[in-house]
Amino acid sequence: MRVLIADDDEIYRSLLCSTLPRWGYQVVAVSDGERALASLATEGAPALAILDWMMPGLSGPEVCKRVRASPGPRYTYILLLTARSKMEEVVEGLEAGADDYLTKPFVASELRARLRTAARILGLQENLLESRRELEVLATHDPLTQLWNRRAILERLSREWARALREKKSMAVLLADVDRFKEVNDRFGHAVGDQALCEVARRLTAALRPYDLLGRFGGEEFLVAFSTDDPESVGRVAERLREAVAASPFSANGLDIPFSVSIGMAVAPAHPAAGAEALILAADGALYRAKREGRNRVCICTLASGPADPAAALARSTGSSRS
């Protein structure tokens, strides 16, 4: 564990710098409060700080207050070193945000015990953070393909629509559905079907840019979304995705299983009169056309800018293509 030591007393600073490494700690040492605050504000800052109460620039309690006023992603455990022993002064340091204190001159064994306590608390906190990260992944990702799940991809699509609206860009939504997926499940079993979905997800991911949105929309259907300055290029993106999936058979249990996707695509300038839901509806209609016209193809629906009645415009664009 890395420890920040901030003390303007060279004797105490040298003592701590020589003692803590023997106990297994990595030391970062500074001699004033401003440098201590700057060190704690950097990326990868030490999670544990030992601050002298009286320092040039900023005192230990002042550093505590500023650290607590701008908390980072990880908690900083702060131990104050002070020659003050009056209860009201100790309370002042704790209320400033310190977690613990130790009076000078300190006993090495007591300091070591307090550092172990700090390390134990920081370890528990890190476990809680890791558990929260795992829960966030479970709440936002599809457990099979590890892509965004339906709720998460819709939330991100809504944000991307708002950004496209601010930047006066067009928005593209693509719905890709695995062709004849039921036949794969019926013939080879659901385990192979699951492997096939994971392979489709992998191929789609490889064919997209890192910042494009991709999620499992439901069943064997995937949603792709991105904003663009060049609506004409969206068709090329859709075709690239289709080709990536159909390029080679999927191998499972010694068998080569050919598979493909049909893609429905919708593009429109972001407009306050419509929304991302309108694009999904249009892409869905285009997808049904692609299925009816033979599968393994891309069908496109382009919406006009700023329709007076978005729903009516979509109905005219998609027609009665559902089957």
Q: List 226's β-bridge partners, or say none.
A: 172
- Give the CA count within 13 Å in the CB-facing half-sphere of 281: 17
Residues 6+ apart with CB under 8 A from 88: none
Active site residue 220: yes
Q: Which two tokens stand for residue 186?
A: 């019926």
DSSP letter (8 states) at residue 141 = B
- From 130, 220, 232, 243, the catalytic residue: 220
Kindly give the pairing relationship between strand 77-82 and strand 48-52.
Answer: parallel
User: DSSP per residue over 184-249, as a string?
Assistant: HHHHH-HHHHHHHHHHHHHHHHHHS-TTSEEEEEETTEEEEEEEES-GGGHHHHHHHHHHHHHSSP
Give 145-188 as a DSSP string: T-SB-HHHHHHHHHHHHHHHHHTT-EEEEEEEEETTHHHHHHHH
Token pair for 93: 């340091």
Catalytic amino acids? 220
